[in-house]
Amino acid sequence: MRIDILTVLPQLLESPFSASIMQRAQDKGHVEIHVHNIRDYSTDKHKNVDDYQYGGGAGMVLSIEPIAAVIEKLISERSYDDIIYMTPDGKVLEQSDCNTLSLSKNLMILCGHYKGVDERIREHYITKEISIGSYVLSGGELAAAVVVDAVVRLIPGVLNDETSALTDSFQDNLLSPPVYTRPPEFKGWKVPEILLSGNLPAIEKWREEQALQRTQDRRPDLLD
């Protein structure tokens, strides 16, 4: 998979992709992540990429020209399964969205900033709009990093245990059950006996029951 990220603050994306699973995924060749500075495509002598909004009002808007320039350059080089815009008013990201995106070959992600981008970008280039929650960040960079992480970890070969992602929360519309590791007792707090029994069918049944109970308690909306 190849992922191209368009941003006015590329330095915000250096750390999320330079360690742990994301770095290993790139080293193994499972994903290429390319970050493009929108300012490089500005024709303004000061490399400005924003302007006042028509009609007045507080806040600046990302200009259409430099964004269109970088998008058109990239789409002239390859086909994209989706061109995604990170925005608070987009569809809230869910695990099913990540599963679908993980099957893509090429993705482009545009990071919003200031009051957003010129609406014509959204109308004519964007194919999918995503939000990571009902709140506003300073820019779309951190949200884009969340999407990339959630998608890339699903690519076969990225995780050492490929079955791990299949048992994550939300994969079956349930939260994950409680998990434990050694020691079996700490300060008098014991691991449930069923997990030490070696009875795999009984353990799976216990996990299913715990997952359902936890979902009912914490996220009943997932069961609707």
Q: State the chain's mean pLDDT as an integer.
A: 95
Q: How many CB atoms lie within 10 A of CB 153?
A: 17
Percent of the chain with pLDDT over 90: 93
Residue 166 has pLDDT above 70, yes or no: no
Q: What's the pLDDT score for residue 162?
A: 63
Q: What is the pLDDT of residues 96-131, one digit of tens each?
A: 999 999 999 999 999 999 999 999 999 999 999 999
203 vs 172, higher pLDDT: 203
Tokens 């350059």 belong to which residue?
Answer: 73
Location of each CATH 3.40.1280.10 domain in the chain: 2-152
Q: Which of 30-34, 76-80, 113-117 has the lowest mean pLDDT?
A: 113-117
Residue 78 φ/ψ, nearest 5 degrees: -165, 165
For the record, the structure tokens of 206 come out as 């216990």
Residue 104, token pair as written in the block: 């893509």
Instruction: Name the superfamily (CATH) of residues 169-223.
Output: tRNA(m1g37)methyltransferase, domain 2 (1.10.1270.20)
Structure confidence at residue 160 (pLDDT): 82
pLDDT band at 161 (very low <50, low <70, confident <90, very high): confident
Residue 165 has pLDDT above 80, yes or no: no
Strands 32-37 and 2-7: parallel
Listed in order, the ranges of the chain carrying CATH 1.10.1270.20 are 169-223
149 by Cβ neighbours in 10 Å (0-12 / 13-18 / 19+) ranks as: middle
Residue 170 pLDDT greater than 90, yes or no: no
Residue 163, pLDDT > 70, answer: no
Cα distances from 80 to residues 3, 48, 107, 117, 165, in angstroms, run 9, 27, 6, 20, 25
DSSP states of 159-222: SSSTTTGGGSTTTTSSPPPP---S-SEETTEE--GGGGS--HHHHHHHHHHHHHHHHHHH-GGG
Q: Look at residue 215 and tell me whether its pLDDT is greater than 70.
A: yes
pLDDT interval class at 172 (50, 70, 90): confident
Right CATH number for 2-152 from 3.40.1740.10, 3.40.1280.10, 3.40.50.1100, 2.40.50.140? 3.40.1280.10
Mean pLDDT value of segment 59-72 = 97
pLDDT grade for 208, boundaries at 50, 70 and 90: very high
d(CA 71, CA 87): 17
Q: Is the pLDDT of residue 149 over 70?
A: yes
Mean pLDDT of 192-208: 97
Q: What is the 3-state secondary structure (H, E, C) of 8-45?
A: CCHHHHCCCCCCHHHHHHHHCCCCEEEEEEHHHHCCCC
Which is it for strands 189-190 and 185-186: parallel, antiparallel or unpaired? antiparallel
Predicted confidence (pLDDT) per residue in 37-64, tens digit: 999 999 999 999 999 999 999 999 999 9
Q: Look up the pTM and report it.
A: 0.90
Q: Is residue 138 within 8 Å of residue 114, measured between CB atoms?
A: no
